[in-house]
Structure 1
């Protein structure tokens, strides 16, 4: 990204704004003097001991100080943001809020809409993003540098895909947590001590996910291979599949997608 670009994060004390700001500093992408944070109090706990970071409570002042404005507030708070960006690059991290909504509210056609998730806290988030037509190539390179400080970014060709990914990747740990909850309850019911049950479930899910990531193949290949071994795991997998686990997951994702799409349309 531009070496001297100043980045302002509106809502920089929220979980995502804080994660992004700290990652940019930790990785040397920005110096402290290149970061401006706004919050209601103007005193950011996460940044107050970092000399050079400007913490203020005036969003318009932040916009005037910054070259890039990151919008990291709750979607329902957008109507409370009274900012004229002066046509600067705006990166919106608001779920279910269209590029057009942000463009009208902040007075810029250079808007990027991104969908973060909670794994940004450990720098493992997945950030799909869509850029409005007026966003330049230089803007895109800057956006990639910003987002990849907290994980992996992927530009999309259609904004509508972000509604679906809000339901899928935007859920962050929610779906793995639901699976973990079910596995943990079963282990406890089977008489396994709480500490061992929790350790076994977490390590199984984390280890399995890392293995899938390393192999980089379709997860179906692993499922079919394990079923092919015809052991205890195969018995469990067949029973879950026959019981309709795929249908249940598809129904849940469809419901989440419809909710994201409907709420997004409701804001227009």
Structure 2
């Protein structure tokens, strides 16, 4: 992995640290003996790989790893005391800019990424940004490492990553909100709970997969369905007339503001 032999994940038993660590092991991008994890709580995420080194001391992990991954909650950053020197650091913390990571670790080779919960099933979208001090090898390693959990994409600026925190970092949250509204409507119209759940989940899952397969502009798809003037057109037009687009944009604007509120 571009000269990186040993990877250390601080917070390696948390949801994202665990997802990343197990993805690297399952894809054989790293051997168990070359993966170090630390966590306050511990866990059994790596029982299938007894060679993984489970540490309680974060600095001991830093000293032994070639690359360090920070996978803790943003509010825990202030409590971390690390001396990383000139090693590359990949941060998975929302709302923590590269400058803050550099100040806490002492490294200028920072790669900031925005994961989401779909990493658990290898379907995350992982945008990332690297500081100018990060080397080409650091970037190649980040792309390979983050891509183990889904699709990774390098961004040109850190503000772009702040926006992606709002857009893609939400993971299943926005589809879940739509699914919840659809479920409530189906149940209100007498559809049994199990049937409503099956119908809504398959409709959303199948629809998203079809859009991805067709690789078409979603707006074009909406316009085509409205032009068809069937039952779907009536539903789409009413949602739009009731302010669906404006509501979504207002929600993303609020999330983006929170992501940059430092």
TM-score range for the pair, normalised by the shorter chain length: over 0.9
4+ long deviations beyond 2 Å: none
Offset, 1:48: 3.5
**In the TM superposition, what are the counterparts of 1:90-129 in structure 2 within 5 Å?**
90-129=89-128
Offset, 1:221: 0.9
- The aligned counterpart of 1:27 is 27
Task: Mark the runs of 5 or more structure 2 residues left unpaired by the alignment.
Answer: none
Q: Give the match's secondary structure for 1:170.
A: coil
CA distance in 2 between partners of 1:259 and 1:39 (Å): 27
- The aligned counterpart of 2:11 is 11
Q: Give the match's secondary structure for 1:153.
A: strand
Residue 168 of structure 2 corresponds to residue 187 of structure 1:
no
State whether residues 44 and 55 of structure 1, in contact with CA within 8 Å, keep that contact through their aligned partners in structure 2.
no
TM-score (ref. length: structure 2): 0.98
CA distance in 2 between partners of 1:3 and 1:137 (Å): 11
Residue 156 of structure 2 corresponds to residue 157 of structure 1:
yes
Offset, 1:4: 5.6
- The aligned counterpart of 1:138 is 137
CA distance in 2 between partners of 1:112 and 1:79 (Å): 18
**In the TM superposition, what are the counterparts of 1:18-57 in structure 2 within 5 Å?**
18-41=18-41, 43-57=42-56
How many residues are aligned here?
262
CA distance in 1 between partners of 2:155 and 2:91 (Å): 15
Task: Mark the runs of 5 or more structure 1 residues left unpaired by the alignment.
Answer: none
State whether residues 37 and 44 of structure 1, in contact with CA within 8 Å, keep that contact through their aligned partners in structure 2.
no
CA distance in 2 between partners of 1:4 and 1:112 (Å): 15
- The aligned counterpart of 1:147 is 146
- The aligned counterpart of 2:175 is 176
Offset, 1:200: 0.2
Offset, 1:80: 1.2
CA distance in 1 between partners of 2:260 and 2:183 (Å): 33
Q: Give the match's secondary structure for 1:37.
A: strand
Of stretches 182-191 and 32-41 in structure 1, the one that deviates more from structure 2 is: 32-41
- The aligned counterpart of 2:241 is 242
Offset, 1:44: 3.1
Spell out, residue by residue over 1:60-103, the C-alpha distance to the aligned partner (whole angstroms, 9 max, x if none): 00001100000000000001111101210000000000001001
